[in-house]
Amino acid sequence: MNAIDLILAKRDGGRLTDEQIDWFIRSYTANEVVDEQASALLMAILFRGLDPEELARWTEQMIATGTRADLAGVGRPTVDKHSTGGVGDKVSLILCPLVAACGAAVPQTAGRGLGHTGGTLDKMETIPGWRSTLSPAEVMAIISSTGAVINAAGPDLAPADRKLYALRDITGTVESIPLIASSIMSKKIAEGTAALVLDVKVGTGAFMKHEAQARELAETMVGLGTAHGVRTMALLTQMDVPLGRTAGNALEVVESVATLAGGGPADLVELTLALAREMLDLAGLPDADPAAVLADGRAMDSWRAMVRAQGGDPAAALPRASEVEVVVAPASGTLSKLDAMGVGVAAWRLGAGRSRKEDAVSPVAGVVWRATVGDMVVAGQPLLELHLDDPTKLPSALAALQGAIEVSPTPVSPGPMILSRVD
């Protein structure tokens, strides 16, 4: 076989055979196919797509380049959650210990932020001593003892995806739904969970801007999970408005701990509980009551145990910004717009995010908003706080917020958090 045959077949609308897919994934991972040829094939897939059989085989072979974890020995039903990324989305920090406290095991392999969307590992690493890099034996031991782990992908977790993702990022082929779905699902299937709930974000601050596009991605991923023996469902949730009240690494940890302590903003609690119920249902624990577990302190106990098991100190003070710039409400009335993309880009420019995977992030930078869509505000009241440790980054962050805030003289109701579900 040779790469040119595959490129021409897909370019002309043809179907790749199982043998061609197996050969390409194996050969590209082994550096036997050059980036130029792989890029051409990815672009052909972007335009021509992959049918369900091609995609299932493609994903299967990505998994096969590494190992699929066996979590049968943890003593609990396993279930995980994946979000396609948004602004202020710190749900995993609350959800993992919450679902563990309800009796399931959550083996979450998480990632880092890129651009305006935050990364779970970046947030957790603001906790002194906490480690994301764990051996397979450590992962098993932590899940068995605490019920939850949040860790970075190891080198044996779908290594083909690491190469293909890096190539997609620099060749304009990120937007392909089959390639997005195979990237996410190859890692989630390989981590060994028996069930998976997907949170597919829709809106200005999400990768998918329109519900129809998000539904197509959700249906594709649910189909892949089911085909590989993982019980999978998805919720489509809004991301026109940022989630909770903070965007930024340490800021989001503080907000997550407050939520675990029984507080937290209503939208964050609503989404967390909705995802928890879906996870527990898939795990075969439909009678568990995550709201009660969140309220009575068991979820907080689970959080502390998970953090300690990964070397962190849950009682340690988190880093704080040296400077805080306040943005006031421009008028009196109802906050009718708080654009997730504008807030996310502002946090990114303050230092909370990165432009390239190798960039460092600031633990303290970010944005706090004191009101959300539907809330009454008074002209001149503090509306946003911009947290930073590098004053030179402030002007570009303020520029990102131009047009992101609107106040209406008439009442405005926020839209629903959960748009639809895909089984």
CATH of the domain at 160: 3.40.1030.10
- Is residue 373 within 8 A of residue 336, CB to CB? The reply is yes
Residue with tokens 């380049």: 65
H helical segments located in 283-385: 290-295, 298-309, 340-347
Residue 117: what pLDDT? 87
Residue 166: what pLDDT? 87
Enter the tokens of residue 412.
Answer: 């405005």
Residue 278 domain-assigned (yes or no): yes
Residue 66 domain-assigned (yes or no): no
Enter the tokens of residue 42.
Answer: 């990815």
For the chain, what percent of residues have pLDDT higher than 90? 94
Give the burial class of 94: count Cβ atoms within 10 A of its Cβ; 0-12 exposed, 13-18 middle, 19 or more buried.
buried
Separation CA 401–CA 389 (nearest Å): 19
- Is residue 422 within 8 A of residue 213, CB to CB? The reply is no
pLDDT tens track for 39-67: 999 999 999 999 999 999 999 999 999 99
- Is residue 288 within 8 A of residue 125, CB to CB? The reply is no
Residue 415 domain-assigned (yes or no): no
Residue 413 domain-assigned (yes or no): no
The residue type at 135: S
Are 264 and 327 in a shared domain? no
- Is residue 107 within 8 A of residue 154, CB to CB? The reply is no
- Is residue 205 within 8 A of residue 86, CB to CB? The reply is yes
Q: Return the CATH number at 36.
A: 1.20.970.10
Check residue 317 and report its DSSP letter: P
Separation CA 381–CA 383 (nearest Å): 6
Are 275 and 182 in a shared domain? yes
Residue 65: what pLDDT? 97
Are 304 and 361 in a shared domain? no
Q: Domain range spanning residue 95?
A: 72-309
Separation CA 376–CA 8 (nearest Å): 59
Enter the tokens of residue 221.
Answer: 């991923």
Residue 59 domain-assigned (yes or no): no
Residue 305: what pLDDT? 98
CA-to-CA dists, residue 221 to 34, 183, 214, 225, angstroms:
28, 10, 11, 6
Enter the tokens of residue 179.
Answer: 């390639």
Residue 38 domain-assigned (yes or no): yes
Are 146 and 239 in a shared domain? yes
Q: Return the CATH number at 369.
A: 3.90.1170.30
First to last CA, the chain: 38
Q: Which of 181, 81, 106, 88 is nearest to 417 (CA)?
A: 88
Enter the tokens of residue 90.
Answer: 């710190």
Are 279 and 178 in a shared domain? yes
Are 284 and 366 in a shared domain? no
Q: How many domains does the chain have?
A: 3
Are 138 and 265 in a shared domain? yes
CA-to-CA dists, residue 101 to 175, 280, 306, 400, angstroms:
37, 11, 11, 40
Are 346 and 245 in a shared domain? no
Residue 421 domain-assigned (yes or no): no
Are 395 and 273 in a shared domain? no
Are 283 and 356 in a shared domain? no
Enter the tokens of residue 258.
Answer: 């407050």
Separation CA 117–CA 158 (nearest Å): 23
Hey, which residues are catalytic here?
Answer: 82, 161, 168, 183, 187
Are 39 and 98 in a shared domain? no
Domain end marker among 34, 49, 64 = 49
Domain end marker among 309, 335, 368 = 309
CA neighbours closer than 13 Å in the CB half-sphere of residue 98: 32
Are 327 and 402 in a shared domain? yes
pLDDT tens track for 75-121: 999 999 999 999 999 999 999 999 999 999 999 999 888 778 889 99
CA-to-CA dists, residue 16 to 33, 38, 50, angstroms:
16, 14, 8
- Is residue 123 within 8 A of residue 253, CB to CB? The reply is yes
The CB-based long-range contact list for 2-5 (8 Å cut-off, 24+ gap) reads 3/27, 3/33, 3/34, 3/37, 3/38, 3/40, 3/41, 4/37
Residues of the chain with pLDDT under 70: none
The residue type at 47: F
Residue 364 domain-assigned (yes or no): yes
Separation CA 76–CA 386 (nearest Å): 42
Domain end marker among 285, 309, 333 = 309
Residue 116: what pLDDT? 86
Residue 423: what pLDDT? 94
